[in-house]
Amino acid sequence: MESAEYWRKRLEEAQESPSNPRSQPSAGVSACLLGWACRYDGRSKVDPEMLERYERGELLPLCPETQGGLPIPRPPAGLAGGAGAQVWEGKARVLDRQGADLTRAFQAGAQAVARALQERGIKRVYLKQHSPSCGSGSTGGADGKRRAGDGVACALLRHLGLEIIARG
């Protein structure tokens, strides 16, 4: 299993200077949908269509949890007290299964992802469904159950006016 540092470096490189010099990403994508093993459990959730489009240079990989400095693997985490929008209002938190408060890391990663998209003028993102960061309309609760609402990164990107497309 590759470390979080490995994936952070790959994300940084992809966001700073695309490996394909002709690439002009027109949308962002959750990196785990490209087969990048940056999920909490050190696995990915490859989406062949997303991978094909990434290989054509059309998509910019993003992973808010990795970019927020979290390790891989790590205990699963979810939202408590509300969904992503309520986290930004200070009314909800992100807790892992051991009770650790990861709210600040989730917010820092979401802001890093938003910056990467804004610097390139990208207005559309394909986000992994049901994640406490990337989920749109359905996210993960701290009790391990799905709940209605956006994840932390998705809520920020929606607030900034990006078009959100759920995948996975």
Q: Does 107 bind ligand SF4 (CB under 6 A)?
A: no
Class of residue 167 by CB neighbours under 10 A (exposed 0-12, middle 13-18, buried 19+): middle
Question: Taking CB positions, which residue lies at the least distance from ligand SF4?
Answer: 32
Q: What Rg value do the Cα atoms of the chain yield, rounded?
A: 15
Q: Does 139 bind ligand SF4 (CB under 6 A)?
A: no
Contact present, 30 and 134 (Cβ < 8 Å): yes
Q: Does 147 bind ligand SF4 (CB under 6 A)?
A: no
Neighbours of 76 (CB within 10 A): 15
Which span (57-65, 82-90, 114-122, 141-149) binds ligand SF4, by CB under 6 A?
Answer: 57-65
Which span (60-68, 78-86, 118-126, 159-167) binds ligand SF4, by CB under 6 A?
Answer: 60-68
SS3 category, 13: helix
* Cis peptide preceding 73, ω within 30 of 0: yes
Residue of 64, 84, 140, 149 that binds ligand SF4 (CB under 6 A) = 64
Q: What are the residues binding ligand SF4 (CB under 6 A)?
A: 30-32, 38-39, 63-66, 128, 131, 133-134
